[in-house]
Amino acid sequence: MLAFRSTFLHGVKTVQYSQAKSFIVGRGCLGSVNLKGRSFLTLKDFNPDEIKHILWMSADLKHRIKHEGQYLPLLQGKSIAMIFEKRSTRTRMSTETGFSLLGGHPCFLTPQDIHLGVNESIKDTASVLSGLTDMVLARVYSHSTLEQLDKEASIPIINGLSDLYHPIQILADLLTLQEHYGSLRGLTVAWIGDGNNILHSLMMSLAKLGVNLRIATPKGYEPDASITREAQHLFKQFGTELQLFSEPLEAARGSNVLVTDTWVSMGQEEEKTKRLKDFQGYQITMQTGRVASPDWTFLHCLPRKLEEVDDEVFYSPHSLVFPEAENRKWTIMGLMACILTDYTPETPKLKL
218, 278 contact by CB (below 8 A): yes
pLDDT, mean over the chain: 91
13 pLDDT tier (thresholds 50, 70, 90): low
SS3 at position 274? helix
Give 28 or 95, the one with higher predicted confidence: 95
Q: Is the pLDDT of residue 123 over 60?
A: yes
Which residue(s) pair with 190 in the sheet? Answer: 214, 258
Which residue(s) pair with 299 in the sheet? Answer: 259
Q: How much is the pLDDT for 62?
A: 98
Q: Is the dihedral of CA 90, 265, 184, 320 positive or negative?
A: positive
For 103-131, what is the mean pLDDT? Answer: 90
Rounded to whole angstroms, how far apart are CA atoms 247 and 288?
11
SS3 at position 45? helix
Active-site residue flag, 301: yes
For 220-244, what is the mean pLDDT? Answer: 98
Please provide the DSSP assignment of 124-151 as one string. HHHHHHHHH-SEEEEE-S-HHHHHHHHH
72 pLDDT tier (thresholds 50, 70, 90): very high
Q: Is the pLDDT of residue 270 over 70?
A: yes
For 179-183, what is the mean pLDDT? Answer: 98
Query: CA 184, 189, 195 angle in degrees (round to 5)?
Result: 130
Q: For residue 303, say if its preceding peptide bond is cis, omega within 30 degrees of 0.
A: yes
Give 12 or 85, the one with higher predicted confidence: 85
SS3 at position 186? coil
Rounded to whole angstroms, how far apart are CA atoms 57 and 331?
8
pLDDT in tens, 18-46: 333 332 333 333 348 999 999 999 999 99
For 55-73, what is the mean pLDDT? Answer: 98
Rounded to whole angstroms, how far apart are CA atoms 72 and 50?
22
Q: How much is the pLDDT for 265?
A: 75
pLDDT in tens, 79-89: 999 999 999 99
For 269-277, what is the mean pLDDT? Answer: 88
Q: Is the pLDDT of residue 156 over 80?
A: yes
Give 264 or 58, the one with higher predicted confidence: 58
- What DSSP state is assigned to residue 64? I
Rounded to whole angstroms, how far apart are CA atoms 259 and 21?
30
Q: Is the pLDDT of residue 276 over 80?
A: yes
Element of type H or E holding 15 = helix 2-21
Rounded to whole angstroms, how far apart are CA atoms 11 and 167?
27
For 198-205, what is the mean pLDDT? Answer: 98
For 281-298, what is the mean pLDDT? Answer: 98
Among 29, 107, 301, 338, which one carries the catalytic annotation?
301
Q: Is the pLDDT of residue 1 over 60?
A: no
Rounded to whole angstroms, how far apart are CA atoms 139 and 9?
24
Q: How much is the pLDDT for 29?
A: 34
Q: Is the pLDDT of residue 293 over 90?
A: yes
For 125-142, what is the mean pLDDT? Answer: 97
Burial readout 112-138 (b: 16 or more C-beta within 10 A, e: otherwise):
eebebeeeeebeebbbebbeebbbbbb
